[in-house]
């Protein structure tokens, strides 16, 4: 049994479903250990579900609003959502690994290393975005910390000092976890949000090398596999299919699986921007307005099928959404919210296939100006198509499963 342990938004769940389905097709028994709220989604993917607390719904708008807060989102996730339930998480993780031969752990599945050690089950760590590696060799961007982000463009010695300060500052978020380890007779160990999140056996980076190549201070056992996509299957709704066929490619506006729960004026401003740019638009999200002529509002559409038919994609900068945009070879206008999104957006902009407008600066006027800049860039289409070829060649899901099977075979 291979157990895939994850937590967070749908963007955190979907890569595990993609990997799990392929492992199952290769003949392995696979279970997904995650919050009970995702049971229906896991079982719809044809995988066994094993519940791990806390009993929260990541799609609860109140939870999502705090989790993506630009300044306090990451701290809220650890202090408020995870640490009060760390003992329950460990009990559930122990049960989930009862028959496991191998476990994959998400960065915030904090009890996986403990349970894996107790059960003597090898574990592989997973990173969904380059920021997880917190390298001093890159100009990292941190949500809600513009001064630190600016200083991270400085020399390596300064970056190391800033990361050391971050290690000290965030340690207090995890006091209940350290207390639990002490009660179990375990050493404090490396910082769980820094080097401690990476397995000594294999660290899988489930993103494209376009987003980040291995740096000197990444764990030497890191393998960059490429993106692992799971769209949930299905075709474009007939109404959407007709809209796409009835005119030129539209702009697609979406807030992914997290920011969509706290959109504020995003959709209203996006509608204004589309009209100012003279473009048709698809507004993707349950909270989007109805629109009007040359505008279609839809609750859901598979990104892989929709993005390929867009003139450009306007989105928050979650790693999964960015991956789909790169795979589709589409220009992107990114509006980063919290957590890893500012860093993701900066990386894609450096590829020359996107523009970034900060959330607080996004309105109809700024969005229209950025879209014109994107769509009038004569070299952008070629750069975007080259990115799409790279993503396709990486074959992320297959590469990740190859690594997992290699670790299994070496045991």
- CB of 32 within 8 A of CB of 6? yes
Interhelix angle 319-328/380-394, rounded to 10 degrees, is 110
The whole-number pLDDT of residue 285 equals 84
Note the Cα 208 to chain centre separation in Å. Answer: 12
pLDDT tens string 135-186:
999 999 998 888 999 999 999 999 999 999 999 999 999 999 999 999 999 9
Nearest to 351 by CA among 377, 316, 376, 372: 377
If pLDDT is split at 50, 70 and 90, which confidence band does 121 have? Answer: very high
Contact (CB, 8 A) for 106 and 126: yes
The answer to whether residue 411 scores a pLDDT higher than 60 is no
Strands 2-5 and 332-334: unpaired
What one-character-per-residue DSSP string does 234-302 give?
----HHHHHHHHTSSPPEEEE-TTTGGGS-TTHHHHHHHHHHHHT--EEEESTTS---BTTEEEES---
Tokens 């056996």, residue? 201
Q: Decide if pLDDT at 188 tops 70.
A: yes
The radius of gyration computed from the CA coordinates of the chain, to the nearest angstrom, equals 21
pLDDT in tens, 202-243: 999 999 999 999 999 999 999 999 999 997 667 899 999 999
Strand order in the sheet with 354-356: 295-298, 281-284, 251-254, 312-315, 332-334, 354-356
Class of domain 2-226+395-409: alpha beta
Least confident of 56-70, 92-106, 139-153: 56-70
What would the two tokens of residue 192 be? 């769980």
pLDDT value of residue 260: 76
Average pLDDT estimate for 109-123: 95
pLDDT at residue 403 is higher than 80: yes
**Domain residue ranges of the chain, discontinuous segments joined by +:** 2-226+395-409, 238-392
Q: What is the mean pLDDT of residues 254-283?
A: 88
Output the pLDDT for position 66: 83
Task: Report the C-alpha gap between 148 and 141 in whole angstroms.
Answer: 8
- Inform me whether the pLDDT recorded for 262 exceeds 80: no
Confidence (pTM): 0.93
**Other residues' Cβ atoms within 10 Å of the Cβ of residue 360:** 9
pLDDT at residue 233, rounded to an integer = 67
Residue 124 C-beta-side C-alpha neighbours within 13 Å = 28
Q: Taking residues 355-367, what's their average pLDDT?
A: 94
Residue 377 to residues 55, 134, 162, 207, 371, Cα–Cα distance (Å): 47, 32, 36, 26, 10
DSSP-assigned states of every residue in 194-239:
TGGGS-SS-EEE-S-TTT----TTS-TTEEE--------S----HH
Q: Where residue 410 falls among pLDDT bands split at 50, 70, 90?
A: low
pLDDT of 58 above 90: no
- Over 70: is that where the pLDDT of 281 sits? yes
Residue 212 pLDDT:
95
Position 216 scores a pLDDT of: 96
Q: CATH code for 238-392?
A: 3.40.50.2000
Asked if residue 188 lies in contact with residue 171, where contact means CB atoms within 8 angstroms, the answer is no
More confident residue, 101 or 64: 101
Q: What does the mean pLDDT of the chain come to?
A: 93
pLDDT of residue 293: 82
pLDDT at residue 258, as a whole number: 74
């Amino acid at each position: 049994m291979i157990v895939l342990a994850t937590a967070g938004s749908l963007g955190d769940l979907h890569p595990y479903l993609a990997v799990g389905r392929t492992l199952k097709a290769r003949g392995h028994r696979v279970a997904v250990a995650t919050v009970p709220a995702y049971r229906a989604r896991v079982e719809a993917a044809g995988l066994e579900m094993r519940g791990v607390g806390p009993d929260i719904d990541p799609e609860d708008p109140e939870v999502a609003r705090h989790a993506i807060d630009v300044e306090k989102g990451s701290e809220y996730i650890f202090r408020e959502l995870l640490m009060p339930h760390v003992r329950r998480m460990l009990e559930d993780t122990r049960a989930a690994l009862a028959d496991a031969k191998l476990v994959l752990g998400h960065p915030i599945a904090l009890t996986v290393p403990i349970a894996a050690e107790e059960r003597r089950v090898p574990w592989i760590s997973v990173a969904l975005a380059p920021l997880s590696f917190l390298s001093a060799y890159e100009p990292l961007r941190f949500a809600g910390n513009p001064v630190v982000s600016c200083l991270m463009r400085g020399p390596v010695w300064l970056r190391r000092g800033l990361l050391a300060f971050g290690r000290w500052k965030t340690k207090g978020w995890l006091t209940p976890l350290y207390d639990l380890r002490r009660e179990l007779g375990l050493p404090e160990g490396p910082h769980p949000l820094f080097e401690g999140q990476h397995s000594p056996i294999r660290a899988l980076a489930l993103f494209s090398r376009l987003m980040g190549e291995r740096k000197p201070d990444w764990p030497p056992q890191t393998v960059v596999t490429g993106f692992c996509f799971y769209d949930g299957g299905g075709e474009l709704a007939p109404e959407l299919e007709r809209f796409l066929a009835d005119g030129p490619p539209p702009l697609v506006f979406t807030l992914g699986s997290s920011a969509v729960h706290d959109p504020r004026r995003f959709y209203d401003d996006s509608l204004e921007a589309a009209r100012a740019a003279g473009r048709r638009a698809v507004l993707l999200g349950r909270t989007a307005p109805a629109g009007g002529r040359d505008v279609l509002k839809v609750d859901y559409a598979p990104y892989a099928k929709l993005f390929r038919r867009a003139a450009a994609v306007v989105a928050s900068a979650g790693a999964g959404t960015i991956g789909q945009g790169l795979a589709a070879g589409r220009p992107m206008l990114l509006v980063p919210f919290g957590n890893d999104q500012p860093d993701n957006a900066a990386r894609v902009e450096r590829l020359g296939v996107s523009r970034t407008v900060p959330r607080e600066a996004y309105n109809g006027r700024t969005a229209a100006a950025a879209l014109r800049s994107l769509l009038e860039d004569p070299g952008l289409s070629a750069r975007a198509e080259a990115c799409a070829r790279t993503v396709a060649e990486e074959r992320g899901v297959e590469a990740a499963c190859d690594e997992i099977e290699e670790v299994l075979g070496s045991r």
